Amino acid sequence: MAGTRQILLIQGGGAGVHDEWDDKLCDSLRRELGNGYEVRYPHMPDEDDPSYARWSAAIRREMAALDGGAVAVGHSVGATILVNALVERPPEQELRAIVLVAAPFVGAGGWPGDEFELRHDLGARLPQGVPVHVFHGLRDETVPPSHADLYARAIPHAQLHLLPGRDHQLNNDLSEVAKAISTDDLGSVTQE
């Protein structure tokens, strides 16, 4: 769509998540952003068994189809794979922002795991000059809110948004995410 800003939303992992859970996040984001935005919400392969190899390949294909200035948003394990994929191979087109929602931190202090393990120099390896926002509900019982703090340490330039009373799905309300995306200078959004 000409004249629209593109948003790529990567779902979380689990059986039925795309159509039964994260579709509500997509609906909220579309509603909150309104006209002028195109939210792309691809179905990740084998969503019930997220694999870095399969998902990162799908994310790269989706990224290659975006125009410059798009915003990459990931939810839950989709955010973890998204950020790993961006570190491993930055997109050819410049991103306007990277947004991580309820992302598990895999590595020291977070969850154990080899396939998704985040690098200690994560912030330095992400595309330079691209604002990063980390959103996490303080009532998230799936991924502890302490994981957001681990991201903030690993990506020192990230803006941290801790949302009281919100669960892993941010209560299916991405209004704060939409506000960050629609702000002209994404780097100027203050911590919630």
| 35-48 residue pLDDT tens | 999 999 999 999 99
Query: Which DSSP letter does residue 138 get?
Result: T
Q: Which amino acid is at 134?
A: V
What confidence category does residue 114 fall into, taking pLDDT thresholds of 50, 70 and 90?
confident
Could you read off the pLDDT of 28-86 as tens digits, one per residue? 999 999 999 999 999 999 999 999 999 999 999 999 999 999 999 999 999 999 999 99
Confidence of residue 115 (pLDDT cuts 50, 70, 90): confident
- 137 — pLDDT class (breaks 50, 70, 90): very high
Percent composition of the chain: helix, strand, coil (DSSP 3-state, to 5): 35, 20, 45
Task: Say whether pLDDT at 17 is over 90.
Answer: yes
- Quote the percentage of the chain above a pLDDT of 70: 94
List the Cα angle 148/73/17 in 5-degree steps. 90
Digit-coded pLDDT (tens) for 162-191? 999 999 999 999 999 999 999 854 554 334
The residue type of 169 is Q
Residue 2, pLDDT score: 52
Tokens representing 58 are 């799908």
Q: Which residue has the tokens 């509900």?
A: 137
